[in-house]
Structure 1
């Protein structure tokens, strides 16, 4: 039974690693995408990505919270979960930009 439990935990961690990778990729691509949009190099403007990132930033700085940060551990965890979910939406919205960047800037990280 212990082996089965370990397998389940490993699968959960692997799933979370994928989400963490999406969050990291969204943060790494958002600023270059914004610069390419402002310079006119990339069109059409990925409005969904801009809106999701705005929502994530607004949630982080907003004094309104789903669970108040006064409840230290739980309050911070809800922020991480919600902002993480929003960043995965940003990553999904940047799929076209990611493909464009890979074809036009193959040496870019």
Structure 2
């Protein structure tokens, strides 16, 4: 597949979001270091390193019961996107040079756009509880 359009990314993310369940939050957190390592030196994903940390912080606060001001579908959107990055079975296999992480970056960007308001609320909450 040479080109991935927004509709394909949206469908893939929605499928992963719908498949995500409450107990999957802990699975994502257990894989945090492995997932974050994919962001650190992987071309297009690298620009989302700080965003990935924010997403993990939100998931951790949700899992610990510290922050529940977010609907579960937002948690599922985050978890589904982060697990997508980890998955070897995605739209463009990660081992393909240069383009292997384009779809991962597109899924993360789509997720960030989808949950933007919730992330802003979380950042305000985090700042006020620090």
TM-score (norm 2): 0.45
2:70–2:118: 8 Å Cα contact kept in structure 1?
no
The match for 2:10 is none
Contact 1:25 1:91 in 2 (8 A): no
What are structure 2's unaligned runs of at least 5 residues? 1-46
> Alpha carbons of 1:56 and 1:40: their partners in 2 closer, same or farther (altered >3 Å)?
closer
Match of residue 119 from structure 2: 94
- Kindly report which structure 2 residues correspond to 1:21-100, keeping only aligned pairs within 5 A, or say none: 23-69=48-94, 71-100=96-125
What are structure 1's unaligned runs of at least 5 residues? Answer: 1-19
Question: CA-atom RMSD, angstroms?
Answer: 2.9
Task: Report the count of equivalent residues.
Answer: 84
Greater C-alpha radius of gyration = 1
Question: Per the alignment, in what secondary structure is the counterpart of residue 94 of structure 1?
Answer: helix
Which residue number corresponds to residue 128 of structure 2? 103
Distance in structure 2 (CA, Å) of the matches to 1:82 and 1:40: 27
Structure 1 length normalisation: TM-score?
A: 0.51
